């Protein structure tokens, strides 16, 4: 009998665990409980060990949609990055100027708790 989970190798060398579709449907309520408790790990599922669907928390989905539809911000950031890469011998640019060009607020408080080492 096949396992409910299969490791799937991604093109970049990383891997993900793919839950079988029947197992995903049986565990959906448990994933909702995890999402409600603040977990953000996706539920990746499919058949024959191939990832075909992903269940993520609603707030993560909203953030992805917002980021993916910010075409103006992306185009400007891409243009600045392309210009800098084409001219690597140019003068050094202060981080404040780069941030301003990209529309970043360096004084904005960020939640970095997920990157901190546990005490």
Same domain as 59, residue 15 = yes
Same domain as 48, residue 90 = no
Same domain as 60, residue 85 = no
pLDDT at residue 63, rounded to an integer? 80
pLDDT higher than threshold 60 for residue 1 = no
pLDDT at residue 42, rounded to an integer? 92
First CA to last CA distance, the chain: 42
pLDDT at residue 24, rounded to an integer? 96
Cα 108 from Cα 101, distance rounded (Å): 16
pLDDT tens, residue by residue, 73-93: 666 667 767 776 776 666 667
Same domain as 59, residue 14 = yes
Domains in the chain: how many in total?
Answer: 2
Q: What is the CATH number of the domain that holds 41?
A: 3.40.1620
Of residues 95 and 27, the one with the higher pLDDT is: 27
Enclosing domain of residue 29: 5-64
Same domain as 53, residue 19 = yes
Same domain as 97, residue 59 = no
pLDDT tens, residue by residue, 34-82: 999 988 899 999 999 999 999 999 988 888 877 667 666 666 667 767 7
Same domain as 97, residue 54 = no
DSSP track, the chain? ---SEEEEE-TTS-EEEEEEHHHHHHHHHHHHHHHHTT----EEEESTT---EEE--HHHHHHHHHHHT-HHHHHHHHHHHHHHHH-TTSPP--HHHHHHHHT--TTS----GGGSPP-
Of residues 115 and 2, the one with the higher pLDDT is: 115
């Amino acid at each position: 009998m096949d396992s409910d989970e299969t490791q799937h190798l991604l093109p970049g060398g990383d891997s993900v665990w793919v839950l079988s579709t029947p197992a995903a449907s049986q565990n959906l309520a448990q994933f909702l409980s995890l999402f409600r408790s603040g977990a953000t790990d996706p539920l990746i599922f499919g058949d024959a060990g191939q990832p075909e669907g992903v269940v993520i928390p609603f707030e993560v989905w909203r953030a992805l949609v917002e980021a993916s539809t910010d075409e103006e911000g992306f185009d400007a950031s891409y243009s600045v990055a392309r210009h800098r890469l084409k001219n690597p011998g140019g003068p050094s640019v202060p981080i404040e100027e780069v941030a301003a060009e990209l529309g970043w607020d360096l004084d904005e408080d960020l939640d970095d708790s997920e990157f901190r080492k546990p005490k």
